[in-house]
C-alpha cells in the first residue's frame, strides 16, 4: 500500500501550478536555480581546480599574493548587477500577488484550533457558510488501519470555487495564528486573530487542490488541511443551489423544545467535530493540558458553570470560547451530551432557549 | 581585575601564585582563568549539543513514517521548541564563546580576559538556564510548545513550561551580554603593543562584531519575552488584538532580534574558517581588509532585514519590496567572503588535514545555504516556501553546515594547542566524511519536501512525503552517531597521543603559535610586541 502511493513521491519541485501567478513563481524559482547553479559551478570550479592542482607536493611553493583591488571591486560589482537583473521580474510578481482587488467572489477563511471555517461573503454563493474539518479517520493516524490515498489531506467540506474567476480570500482567526496555504495556487496568507488579511487566486484549470495550515497553531497543527475544488461555472451554480437548500433544511427552529435523545444525538456529532480533538472521543482528555470531561467537576456540576465554560472558554488556555463558533442549538446539544455521556450521569438537559438567554 | 599582572621583568604577581591555587572541583567552580572557562564552555556546549541532538532524533524517529508512532503531537511540539532553543542558545553560542575565551587572549597577547570574575559568572549562569529548559519537559503542561520563535497568541495558552523558558532566556541573555562586554573590553584594551586593529587576527574581528550584535539584540529579545510574560500573567495585552495589541508586533520585535541572532551564530565561524583556510593553503588570507569590511557590513545589514521572515503576515507591498531588496543585498558582502576564501586557496600549497576538510565543507555547504537564502529572499517565491521544510533545510545548511562545521574546524585546529597532543588524524578525517555525507543525506532532501509543500513543525504528514522523510531520518541517525566519534577523538587526544609542537601546522600564523603546546596555565606574562 505504502510503496504503491509512494511511487508518485519523488517530487523535487513545486506542485504543478494551477494559476498564472503560481506559474510565474515557478519560473522565478527556476531562473534563480540557473543563476545560482552557474555561480556555483564557477566558484567551485575554481576551488576544485585548486584542490586538485595546487595541493601540497614536493617542490610546490605557495604563491604569496594576498590582495588585488581590481578583482575585489569586480566581484563586488558583478553580483550587484546580477541582483539588479533578478530584482525586476520579482518586483512585478510581488506587486501582482498583493493585488486582491476586483474579485468575483470573496470568501472569508477563519482559522480555529483545529479546523477552518468558511463564509462566502460576496459574489455568487453569498451566504454559504460551513466548517471544514479533517476527515481522515483516527485509526489511520494511529496506524490501526491502512492509510488512504489522501491521508491527512482530506476534509468533510471542500471549498468550492468556479474556474477562471478571481477569488479573494480574507483570512482571520479566532484563537491563535494559522496560515491558509494552497501550494498549487502559490497562496499562503497568515490568519491572525483580531485582524483581517487578504490574498487572491484565479485558478486556470479544474481539479482538487490540497494544502495545509502553515503556521504552528498548537497540538493539531499537522491536522488542519485545506481542500479546494475548482469546478466549471455550471457545476459551481449547482453546488451553490445545493448548499442553499441544505442550509435551509438544517436551519434549526429556535422555538423548538428538544428531547433528551435528540439533544444527545446532535450533541455527539458536535462533540466529535469540535471537542474531541482535545478532550478525546472518550472524554478522558490529555491531562493536564486538556482536562478530562468524564467525571469533571464542571461537567457534573451546576449547568450554568458548564454552559459558561463552553460559551466563553478559559483565557490563557486552548479552551476556546465556542459561543462565537456554535449556534444555540449546538451548544445546548453538546452540553447536554457531555453531562450524560461516558460516566457522567447528571440526567439534566439544556434547551437552546437557555443558551440564548445566557448570551444576552 | 584578578588576573595575574606582569611586571616588566616578567615576574608574576597576583592571586594565583601556585601555593594558593584551588584544585579539584573548586578550581573549576571558582576559576577566573580564561582557559579553564573556555574549556568549561566547550564541554557545556557539547553536552547541550548531545541533548538537543537526542531531541532531534526523537523528532526524526516520529517522522520516519506517516502516522503517529512514538510521541504525542503536543510532546512533538515541545521537542521541536526545545531542540531549537537548546541548539542555538545552548550549543552553538556557548561553543563560540568557548573559542573566544580560549583563543582571544592568546591571539592578541593578553594574559587573560579583562574581567575574570564576570567571566566565571557568565559561564555559571548557563547550567541553571539549561536545567530550566530541560526540566520544563516534566512540569505539568510540559515545555513551551510554540517553536523557538515563541509566537503569541499560542504562547499565551501554554503552561508553566513557558514561564520557565522565559526565565531561561533572561538568564542566557544576561550571560551572553556579560560575555560580550568582556570580549569587547579585552579586545580594545589588552592588545599587545603594536597590534593595531587592522593587524588583529580575523577571529578577533569577527568576535568583536558579534559581541556588538549580541549587546544590541539580546535586550530586544528579553523585552519581547518579558512582554509575553506580562501578557500571560499580569493582564497586559501587548500582543492581543482584543486588548488593543497586535500579535504581529511580537514577530517584528522577535525578528529584529532573531535575524541578527542568526548572524551571531555564524560570524565567529567566518573568523575560524579564515584562519584555517589560510593555514592549510600556506598562504596569507586574501583580502584581509575586505574581509573585515564584509563582516562589519553583514553585521550592520543584519539589522535591516528582519521582516523577510514575515512575508506572509500581510504587510504592505512596499514593505515587502524593501525587505526583499535589503535581504538580497546581503548576498554581496557574503559573496565577497566566499570569493576571498577561494582566492586564498588559489595557487597555494594545499593539504587536507581535518580542520581544512571541515573548512572546505563549510564553504561548500554554507554557499548552498546562502543560495537557498537568496531563493527565500524573493518575496513572491518565499510565499511558497515559508514555514515548509525548505526553510528547515535552509537554516540547517547555515547553522549546522555553517556554524557547526566551522566550530569543528576550529576544534581540530586548536586541539593540539589546548591539549598538547595531536589528535588521531585518520579518525578526524573519518569524522568529517561521516558528518559531511550524513548531513547532506539528512537535510538536502528536505528541500524537496518543502518545495512539494510539506509544512514544518508537523508530527505527521501525507503519504507522498514518505520517501524523503525516511532518507532524512536515516541520515539524522548517522549524523548523530558520528558525533560520538568526535567525542572519542577528543578524549583520546586529551589523554595522550603524539606530543604537539608549539606550532603544529606548517602554514599557521599568529601569536597563539608562539606559546608552547599545551598552552601554559598563564601565558603572556611578558607581553609580546607585534612589529
Ligand atoms: C543531528 C542534527 C540535527 C537534526 C537531525 C535536526 C533536526 C531538526 C528537525 C527535524 C527540526 C524540526 C523542523 C520542523 O518541523 O520545524 C529541527 C528544527 C530546528 N533545528 Fe535542528 N537538527 C539538527 C541540528 C541542529 C543544530 C546544530 C541547530 C543549531 C545550530 C539546529 C537548529 C534548529 C532550529 C533553530 C530549529 C527550529 C525549531 C523550531 O521550529 O522552532 N538544529 N531540527
Ligand atoms: Cu493552524
Q: Write out pLDDT tens, residues B18-59.
A: 445 677 788 888 899 999 999 999 999 999 999 999 999 999
Residue corresponding to grid cell 600564523: B509
Residue in B289, B375, B457 nearest the CB of A32: B375
Given pLDDT bands bounded at 50, 70 and 90, which one contains residue B193?
Answer: very high
Dihedral through CA B330, CA B218, CA B308, CA B361, nearest 10? Answer: 50
Interface probe with B: pick from A177, A199, A200, A277, most Cβ of B within 10 Å: A177
Residue in A8, A40, A177 nearest the CB of B371: A40
Three-class SS of chain A: CHHHHHHHHCCCCCCCCCEHHHHHHHHHHHHHHHHHHHHHHHHHHHHHHHHHHCECCCCCCCCCCCCCHHHHHHHHHHHHHHHHHHHHHHHHHHHHHCCCCCCCEEEEEEEECCEEEEEEEECCCCCCEEEECECCCHHHHCCCCCCCCCCCCCECCCEEEECCCEEEEEEEECCCCEEEEEHHHCEEEEECECCCEEEEEEECCCEEEEEECCCCCCCCHHHCEEEEEEECHHHHHHHHHHHHHHHHHHCCCCCCCCCHHHHHHHHHHHHHHHCHHHHCCCCCCECCCECCCCCCHHHHCCHHHHHHHHHHCCCCCCCCCHHHCCCHHHHHHHHHHHHHCCCCCCCCCCCHHHHHHHHC
Q: Enumerate residues 6+ apart whose C-beta is below 8 A from B67.
A: A140, A141, A142, A143, A147, B460
pLDDT in tens, A247-281: 887 777 767 888 888 888 888 888 988 888 889 88
pLDDT value, residue A1: 34
Beta carbon of B210 within 6 Å of any ligand 1 atom: no
Cis previous bond, B153, omega within 30: yes
Residue corresponding to grid cell 496560515: A179
Cβ within 8 Å of A, B 481-500: none
Give me ligand 1 centre to Cα B393, in Å.
9
Residue A218 region by backbone torsions, left for phi larger than 0, else alpha for psi between -120 and 50, else beta: left
Chain A residues inside the 8 Å CB shell of B140: 288
Bridge partners of residue A231, in order along the sequence: A162
pLDDT value, residue B524: 85
Give me ligand 2 centre to Cα A222, in Å.
8
Q: How far is CA A115 from CA A109, A181, A313, A329, B516, in A?
A: 10, 13, 17, 20, 66
Question: Considering every ligand atom, which ligand is closest to the CA of B407?
Answer: 1
Q: Which residue of A has its CA nearest to B318?
A: A95
| B255 close to A (CB below 8 A) | no
Q: Which residue of B has its CA nearest to A94?
A: B380
For residue B427, with 0-12 CB atoms within 10 Å meaning exposed, 13-18 middle and 19 or more buried, which class applies? middle
Question: What is the 8-class DSSP label of residue B448?
Answer: H
Given pLDDT bands bounded at 50, 70 and 90, which one contains residue B15?
Answer: very low
First to last CA, chain B: 28
pLDDT in tens, A109-123: 999 998 999 999 999
Catalytic positions of B are 83, 112, 148, 175-176, 259, 261, 263, 274, 308-309, 334, 337, 456
Mean pLDDT along residues B61-65: 95
Question: Considering every ligand atom, which ligand is closest to the CA of B479?
Answer: 1
In this complex, do B329 and A83 lie within 8 Å of one another by their Cβ atoms? yes
User: What does the alpha-carbon distance between residue B86 and residue B48 come to, in Å, rounded to a whole number?
Assistant: 7
| A233 close to B (CB below 8 A) | no
First to last CA, chain A: 54
pLDDT value, residue B20: 57
H/E element, B391: helix B389-398
pLDDT value, residue A254: 67
Q: How far is CA A50 from CA A4, A44, A275, B280, in A?
A: 47, 9, 64, 12
Given pLDDT bands bounded at 50, 70 and 90, which one contains residue A12?
Answer: confident
Interface probe with A: pick from B350, B459, B509, most Cβ of A within 10 Å: B350
Helix (H, G, I), strand (E, B) or coil at B184: helix
Q: How far is CA A144 from CA A139, A147, B137, in A?
A: 5, 9, 29
- Residue-level length of chain B: 531
Packing angle, helices A328-340 and A352-359, rounded to 10 = 120
Q: B83, B56 in Cβ contact below 8 A? A: yes
Closest CA to A227 of A261, A194, A182: A182
Q: How far is B95 from chain A (nearest CA, A)?
A: 29
Pairing between strand A129-132 and A115-122? antiparallel
User: What does the alpha-carbon distance between residue A216 and residue B447 come to, in Å, rounded to a whole number?
Assistant: 19
* Sign of the alpha-carbon dihedral angle for A135, B470, A44, B436: positive
Chain A residues inside the 8 Å CB shell of B247: 177, 192-195
Cβ within 8 Å of B, A 341-360: none
In this complex, do A218 and B154 lie within 8 Å of one another by their Cβ atoms? yes
pLDDT in tens, A51-89: 999 999 888 888 888 889 999 999 999 999 999 999 999
Beta carbon of B401 within 6 Å of any ligand 1 atom: no
* More confident site: B331 or A288: B331
Nine cell digits for residue A33: 536555480
In this complex, do A47 and B459 lie within 8 Å of one another by their Cβ atoms? no
Cβ within 8 Å of B, A 108-167: 140-143, 147, 149-153
Mean pLDDT along residues B442-471: 94
pLDDT in tens, B260-273: 999 999 999 999 99
pLDDT in tens, A127-148: 999 999 999 999 999 989 999 9
Nine cell digits for residue A277: 480533538
Question: What is the 8-class DSSP label of residue B455?
Answer: B
Q: How far is A356 from chain B (nearest CA, A)?
A: 23
Taking CA atoms only, the protein residue closest to ligand 1 atom 29 is: B87
Mean pLDDT along residues A220-232: 95
Mean pLDDT along residues B156-175: 94
Instruction: Please say if the pLDDT value at position A343 is more than 80.
Output: yes
Give me ligand 2 centre to Cα B61, in Å.
23
pTM, full prediction: 0.90
Q: A309, A319 in Cβ contact below 8 A? A: yes
Instruction: Please say if the pLDDT value at position A158 is more than 70.
Output: yes
Average pLDDT, chain A: 89
Poorest-pLDDT segment among A39-48, A287-296, B172-181, B462-471: A287-296
* Sign of the alpha-carbon dihedral angle for B293, B296, B298, B304: negative
Pairing between strand A225-231 and A159-162? parallel
Instruction: Please say if the pLDDT value at position B312 is more than 70.
Output: yes
Cβ within 8 Å of A, B 187-226: none
Radius of gyration of chain A (CA): 28
* Sign of the alpha-carbon dihedral angle for B392, B393, B397, B398: negative
Mean pLDDT along residues B128-141: 93
In this complex, do A66 and B288 lie within 8 Å of one another by their Cβ atoms? yes
Bridge partners of residue A229, in order along the sequence: A160, A208
ipTM for the predicted complex: 0.89
User: What does the alpha-carbon distance between residue A98 and residue B318 come to, in Å, rounded to a whole number?
Assistant: 10
* DSSP per residue, B20-72: G---HHHHHHH---HHHHHHHHHHHHHHHHHHHHHHHHHHHHHTTSSS--SS-
pLDDT value, residue A323: 84
Share of chain B above pLDDT 70, in %: 96
Beta carbon of B399 within 6 Å of any ligand 1 atom: yes
pLDDT value, residue B54: 96
Interface probe with A: pick from B462, B471, B506, most Cβ of A within 10 Å: B462
| A301 close to B (CB below 8 A) | no
Instruction: Please say if the pLDDT value at position B131 is more than 70.
Output: yes
Instruction: Please say if the pLDDT value at position B526 is more than 90.
Output: no
Q: How far is B103 from chain A (nearest CA, A)?
A: 24
Q: How far is CA A293 from CA A222, A310, A312, A342, in A?
A: 24, 12, 17, 9
Poorest-pLDDT segment among A219-223, A262-266, B6-10: B6-10
Which residue among B54, B56, B259, B366 is best mutated to probe the pocket of ligand 1, counting the most ligand atoms within 8 A of its Cβ?
B56
Residue corresponding to grid cell 488501519: A145
Nine cell digits for residue A11: 517530487
User: What does the alpha-carbon distance between residue B167 and residue B411 come to, in Å, rounded to a whole number?
Assistant: 31
| B69 close to A (CB below 8 A) | yes
Q: How far is CA B181 from CA B113, B122, B184, B189, in A?
A: 11, 11, 5, 12
Nine cell digits for residue B156: 499565551
Share of chain A above pLDDT 90, in %: 56
Instruction: Please say if the pLDDT value at position A6 is more than 50.
Output: no
Average pLDDT, chain B: 92
Amino acid at each position: 500500500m505504502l510503496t504503491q502511493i509512494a511511487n508518485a513521491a519523488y517530487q523535487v519541485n513545486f506542485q504543478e501550478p494551477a494559476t498564472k501567478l503560481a506559474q510565474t513563481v515557478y519560473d522565478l524559482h527556476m531562473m534563480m536555480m540557473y543563476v545560482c547553479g552557474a555561480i556555483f559551478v564557477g566558484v567551485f570550479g575554481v576551488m576544485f581546480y585548486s584542490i586538485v592542482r595546487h595541493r601540497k607536493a614536493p617542490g610546490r611553493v605557495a604563491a604569496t599574493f594576498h590582495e588585488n583591488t581590481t578583482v575585489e571591486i569586480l566581484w563586488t560589482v558583478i553580483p550587484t548587477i546580477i541582483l539588479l537583473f533578478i530584482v525586476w521580474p520579482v518586483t512585478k510578481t510581488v506587486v501582482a500577488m498583493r493585488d486582491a482587488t476586483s474579485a468575483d467572489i470573496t470568501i472569508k477563511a477563519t482559522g480555529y484550533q483545529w479546523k477552518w471555517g468558511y463564509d462566502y461573503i460576496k459574489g455568487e454563493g453569498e451566504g454559504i457558510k460551513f466548517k471544514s474539518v479533517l476527515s481522515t479517520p483516527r485509526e489511520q493516524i494511529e496506524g490501526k488501519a491502512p492509510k488512504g490515498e489522501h491521508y491527512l489531506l482530506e476534509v468533510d467540506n471542500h471549498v468550492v470555487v468556479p474556474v477562471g474567476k478571481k477569488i479573494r480570500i480574507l483570512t482571520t482567526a479566532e484563537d491563535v495564528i494559522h496560515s491558509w496555504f494552497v501550494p498549487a495556487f502559490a497562496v499562503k496568507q497568515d490568519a491572525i486573530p483580531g485582524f483581517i488579511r487578504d490574498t487572491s487566486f484565479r485558478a486556470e484549470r479544474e481539479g482538487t487542490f490540497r494544502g495545509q495550515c502553515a503556521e504552528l497553531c498548537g497540538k493539531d497543527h499537522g491536522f488542519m488541511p485545506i481542500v479546494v475544488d475548482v469546478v466549471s461555472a455550471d457545476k459551481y451554480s449547482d453546488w451553490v443551489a445545493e448548499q442553499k437548500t441544505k442550509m435551509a433544511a438544517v436551519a434549526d427552529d429556535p422555538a423548538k423544545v428538544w428531547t433528551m435523545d435528540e439533544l444527545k444525538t446532535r450533541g455527539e456529532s458536535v462533540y466529535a467535530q469540535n471537542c474531541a480533538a482535545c478532550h478525546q472521543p472518550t472524554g478522558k482528555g490529555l491531562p493536564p493540558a486538556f482536562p478530562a470531561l468524564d467525571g469533571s467537576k464542571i461537567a457534573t456540576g451546576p449547568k450554568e458553570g458548564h454552559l459558561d465554560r463552553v460559551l466563553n472558554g478559559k483565557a490563557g488556555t486552548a479552551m476556546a470560547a465556542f459561543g462565537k463558533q456554535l449556534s444555540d442549538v449546538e451548544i445546548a446539544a453538546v452540553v447536554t451530551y457531555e453531562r450524560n455521556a461516558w460516566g457522567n450521569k447528571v440526567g439534566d438537559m439544556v434547551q437552546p432557549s437557555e443558551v440564548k438567554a445566557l448570551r444576552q | 581585575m584578578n588576573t595575574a599582572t606582569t611586571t616588566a621583568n616578567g615576574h608574576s604577581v597576583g592571586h594565583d601564585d601556585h601555593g594558593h591555587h584551588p584544585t579539584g572541583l573548586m578550581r573549576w567552580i571558582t576559576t577566573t582563568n580564561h582557559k579553564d572557562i573556555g574549556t568549561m564552555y566547550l564541554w557545556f556546549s557539547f553536552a547541550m549539543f548531545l541533548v538537543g541532538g537526542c531531541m532531534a532524533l526523537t523528532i526524526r524517529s516520529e517522522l520516519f513514517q506517516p502516522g503517529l508512532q512514538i510521541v504525542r503531537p503536543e510532546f512533538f511540539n515541545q521537542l521541536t521548541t526545545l531542540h531549537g532553543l537548546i541548539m542555538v542558545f545552548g550549543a552553538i553560542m556557548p561553543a563560540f564563546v568557548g573559542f573566544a575565551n580560549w583563543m582571544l587572549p592568546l591571539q592578541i597577547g593578553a594574559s587573560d580576559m579583562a574581567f575574570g570574575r564576570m567571566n566565571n559568572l557568565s559561564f555559571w549562569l548557563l547550567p541553571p538556564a539549561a536545567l530550566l529548559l530541560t526540566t520544563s519537559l516534566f512540569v505539568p503542561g510540559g515545555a513551551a510548545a510554540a517553536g523557538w520563535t515563541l509566537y503569541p497568541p499560542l504562547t499565551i495558552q501554554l503552561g508553566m513550561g513557558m514561564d520557565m523558558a522565559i526565565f531561561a532566556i533572561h538568564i542566557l541573555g544576561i550571560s551572553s551580554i556579560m560575555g560580550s562586554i568582556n570580549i569587547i573590553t579585552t579586545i580594545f584594551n589588552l592588545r599587545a603593543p603594536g597590534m593595531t586593529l587592522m593587524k588583529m587576527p580575523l577571529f578577533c574581528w569577527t568576535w568583536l562584531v558579534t559581541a556588538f550584535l549580541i549587546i544590541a539584540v539580546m535586550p530586544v529579545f528579553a523585552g519581547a519575552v518579558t512582554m509575553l510574560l506580562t501578557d500571560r500573567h499580569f493582564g497586559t495585552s501587548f500582543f492581543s488584538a482584543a486588548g488593543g495589541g497586535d500579535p504581529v508586533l511580537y514577530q517584528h520585535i522577535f525578528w529584529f532580534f532573531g535575524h541578527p541572532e542568526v548572524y551571531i551564530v555564524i560570524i565567529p565561524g567566518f573568523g575560524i574558517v579564515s584562519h584555517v583556510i589560510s593555514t592549510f593553503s600556506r598562504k596569507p588570507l586574501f583580502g584581509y581588509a575586505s574581509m573585515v569590511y564584509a563582516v562589519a557590513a553583514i553585521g550592520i545589514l543584519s539589522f535591516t532585514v528582519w521582516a523577510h521572515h514575515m512575508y506572509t503576515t500581510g504587510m504592505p507591498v512596499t514593505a515587502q519590496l524593501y525587505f526583499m531588496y535589503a535581504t538580497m543585498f546581503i548576498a554581496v558582502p557574503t559573496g565577497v567572503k566566499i570569493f576571498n576564501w577561494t582566492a586564498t586557496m588559489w595557487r597555494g600549497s594545499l593539504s587536507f588535514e581535518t580542520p581544512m576538510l571541515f573548512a572546505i565543507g563549510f564553504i561548500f555547504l554554507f554557499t548552498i545555504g546562502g543560495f537557498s537564502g537568496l531563493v527565500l529572499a524573493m518575496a513572491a517565491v518565499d510565499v511558497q516556501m515559508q514555514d515548509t521544510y525548505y526553510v528547515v533545510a535552509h537554516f540547517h545548511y547555515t547553522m549546522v553546515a555553517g556554524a557547526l562545521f566551522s566550530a569543528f574546524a576550529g576544534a581540530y585546529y586548536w586541539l593540539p594547542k589546548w591539549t598538547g597532543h595531536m589528535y588521531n588524524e585518520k579518525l578526524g578525517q573519518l569524522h568529517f566524511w561521516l558528518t559531511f555525507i550524513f548531513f547532506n543525506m539528512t537535510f538536502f532532501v528536505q528541500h524537496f519536501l518543502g518545495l512539494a509543500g510539506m509544512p514544518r513543525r508537523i508530527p505527521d504528514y501525507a503519504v507522498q512525503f514518505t520517501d524523503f522523510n525516511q532518507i532524512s531520518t536515516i541520515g539524522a541517525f548517522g549524523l548523530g552517531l558520528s558525533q560520538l566519534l568526535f567525542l572519542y577523538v577528543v578524549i583520546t587526544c586529551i589523554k595522550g597521543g603524539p606530543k604537539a609542537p608549539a606550532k603544529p601546522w606548517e602554514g599557521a600564523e599568529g601569536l597563539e603559535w608562539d606559546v608552547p603546546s599545551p598552552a601554559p596555565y598563564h601565558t603572556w606574562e611578558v607581553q609580546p610586541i607585534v612589529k
